[in-house]
Amino acid sequence: MKLHALLITALVGLLPSLGHAAVKPNIVFILADDLGWADTTLYGHTKFHKTPNLERLAKRGMTFDRAYSASPLCSPTRSSILTGQHPARTGITVPNCHEPQVVLQATPGKAAPPSKKSIAPDPPTRLNTTWPTLSKALKSAGYATGHFGKWHLGPEPYSALQQGFDVDVPHYPGPGPAGSFVAPWKFPDFDPQTPDEHIEDRMAKEAVAFMEKHKDEPFFLNYWMFSVHAPFDAKKALIEKYRAKVDPADPQHSPTYAAMVESMDDAVGTLLDTLDRLGIADHTILVFFADNGGNMYDRVDGTTPTSNAPLRGGKATVFEGGIRVPCVVSWPGSIKPETRNETVVQSCDFYPTLLEATGLTALPGQTFDGVSMMPALKGGTLERDAIFTYFPHDPGVPDWLPPSIAMHQGDWKLIRIFFGGEKGQHRWKLFNLRKDPGEKNDLVASEPERVKMMDQRIEKFLTDTKAVQPIANPAFDPAKYHPEEEGVQNNRPKAKAQPKATAANDDSDPKLQGWKARQCTASVTDGIVTLTGQDEALFLGFSASTDGPVTLRFRTRCTAGGEGKVEWLASAKNPSAAKSVPFTVKPGDWQEITVQVPAEGAIGILRLYLPAQKQPVELDWIELTGKAKPKRWEF
């Protein structure tokens, strides 16, 4: 028996050298949130951020210089990783999967302002559980499956637990960390273990426990980080460390964001250390990727969180800064270490790649919009026609475009702007990325045949994926169209000069997300809005631009409690026509309030009056539902 045991031990030790067919490889998939291509030290475009553990990972495998997310926003890219299908096919094209209304299919949009030439489609709010997913495939093949961190593809019954994962920590459906990266946070049923615990330290700790538990069987660890998404906060010591190194001339000079990047990198190091300690690194595939480009529109430390230079644009744009992301893949024995690759790859590719790597096959009739990266990972070439970024929306961020789709084919990139031209025609932008990575030189006029050929390929892609596309806006009014506002942050008409805000009427904090504080001061800390009243008229106002009836829900805490009301009016020009409905806030702890607003017709302005009291009033979130698409504000 002793000899028999010795032989088994010897054979197990030889498994890595016998080839990966002898043992199913573990899979560790790390997805960073909003991490730009230039945010890490992998590509030589940051002097401020430090990512030594990503460099350590890169020495173990292959770094892709031209890796792309399938969308410039998070939920669409996440869906593409799990399904291997493009957001154009699933319909998930915006990160709205935390909203209360359940919508499972995209539908054509219904209306747009007269200043817009096209109407964007209305996307789903959940990843339908009928889609085949990578996690379901691996679980069926005997893998232990665990999801850790951000999900943002739907709450129960559309959570990670219904999409093929055995465990889901912290089982939270929101768009970012609950309130703060540093404890105390507000995750339900998930408390910090130590004061000032960082959520990424905790997620890494939970991931380590999962690997320890399943080290003797194949596992799929899906670690989708909360970092480095808003809200922007970090360990105080790290912030001060980077504050001492700030160079205002460097486009990346936010000490808070740099500290967030370091904590993210530390978590990567924790996982690498664990794989080494457990002796399973040699039969583990490790992927590091990001869901979209760096955030160039929010503000922190008096600046934008980051800069994607030399790339143009950032998160929520189809320019390179919004979709080109860091990517490293490690698999000892199959991928040559310390290698780089300029092959164009996309998030849709991971599902077919990992199926091939694990020796599994697709389901009968299963469709992939991605291709297996294995030829490139093994040092060869990857045969593919093109990749596409379908983004039929136009959030007002720097370098935004009207609803559009981008196509990469070799060195060339074509952007089609739906109905953006004259007389209802599309409009295009063409760039040679080899010569012009910053997308400064539009070559449409000099390359008409190339534009025609590439646009035909775009049309085929949209047909093949059955994409619900933007439609021409029948209410478009050329007199209200302002082409000079394209690419300008906020995409708002020039307003008349307003009186300088006072302490009692200061609505300048972007963290209020469009709500305006009136007759009070408002501050946002760790995801909580604190309102300190000046008189009995304490309220938050919002330009709703919707039709009633609607339902307003919010979570609040008032020490003394009292009476409040929701007021609405069709237009600010007729304040005497305001109507209201009352509510009562009980004194003491947090509570959720639901107010039915029986408005008929247009609601131009909505006001939330909270109880007047000497102590501050706190708000956690606000939610508005009605005939239009639901809105939720997580401060």
* pLDDT above 50: residue 472: yes
Least confident of 197-201, 335-339, 611-615, 621-625: 611-615
pLDDT band for position 504 (50/70/90)?
very low
User: 27 has which bridge partners?
Assistant: 220, 285
Under a CB-based contact definition with an 8 Å cutoff, are residues 428 and 417 in contact? Answer: yes
Topology given in CATH for the domain delimited by 510-634: Jelly Rolls (2.60.120)
* pLDDT above 50: residue 341: yes
Q: What is the mean pLDDT of residues 427-448?
A: 97
Least confident of 62-71, 239-248, 271-280, 598-607: 598-607
Contacts with 448 (C-beta within 8 Å, 6 or more apart), sequence order: none
Question: What's the pLDDT at 577?
Answer: 67
* pLDDT above 50: residue 17: no
Q: What is the mean pLDDT of residues 215-225?
A: 98
Least confident of 296-305, 439-448, 484-493: 484-493
pTM of the model: 0.78
Q: Which DSSP category does 74 fall into? A: H
Q: What is the DSSP string of 348-365?
A: GGHHHHHHHHTT--PPTT
- Cα-atom radius of gyration of the chain, to the nearest Å? 25
Query: The CATH number of 28-106+119-383 is which of 3.40.50.300, 3.40.720.10, 1.10.150.120, 3.40.190.90?
Result: 3.40.720.10
pLDDT band for position 496 (50/70/90)?
very low
* pLDDT above 60: residue 150: yes
Question: What's the pLDDT at 18?
Answer: 36
Q: What is the mean pLDDT of residues 579-593?
A: 83
The percent of residues in the chain predicted with pLDDT above 90, rounded, is: 68
| Domain 28-106+119-383 identical in fold to domain 389-485 | no
- Nearest CA to 61 out of 323, 311, 347, 275 is that of 275
Cis link prior to 310 (omega < 30° from 0)?
Answer: yes
Domain edges within the chain: 28-106+119-383, 389-485, 510-634
Question: What's the pLDDT at 614?
Answer: 66
What ranges in 52-144 are assigned the alpha helix state H? Answer: 52-58, 74-83, 87-90, 134-140
Question: What's the pLDDT at 506?
Answer: 39
Under a CB-based contact definition with an 8 Å cutoff, are residues 378 and 110 in contact? Answer: no
User: 289 has which bridge partners?
Assistant: 31
pLDDT band for position 69 (50/70/90)?
very high
pLDDT band for position 11 (50/70/90)?
very low
Question: What's the pLDDT at 576?
Answer: 57
Q: Is 258 exposed, middle or buried (0-12, 13-18, 19+ CB in 10 A)?
A: buried
Lookup result for tokens 């794989």: 275
Question: What's the pLDDT at 592?
Answer: 86
Q: What is the mean pLDDT of residues 577-598?
A: 83
Q: What average pLDDT does the chain have?
A: 89
What tens digit of pLDDT does each residue of 405-417 get? Answer: 999 999 999 999 9
Q: What is the mean pLDDT of residues 382-386?
A: 91
Least confident of 168-182, 447-461, 612-626: 612-626
Least confident of 88-102, 188-202, 225-239, 617-631: 617-631
Cis link prior to 170 (omega < 30° from 0)?
Answer: yes
Q: Is 534 exposed, middle or buried (0-12, 13-18, 19+ CB in 10 A)?
A: middle
Q: What is the mean pLDDT of residues 372-394?
A: 94
Under a CB-based contact definition with an 8 Å cutoff, are residues 42 and 328 in contact? Answer: yes
Topology given in CATH for the domain delimited by 389-485: Arylsulfatase, C-terminal domain (3.30.1120)
Cis link prior to 184 (omega < 30° from 0)?
Answer: yes
* pLDDT above 90: residue 503: no
Question: What's the pLDDT at 14?
Answer: 40
Angle at 261 between CA 522 and CA 311, to 5 degrees: 95
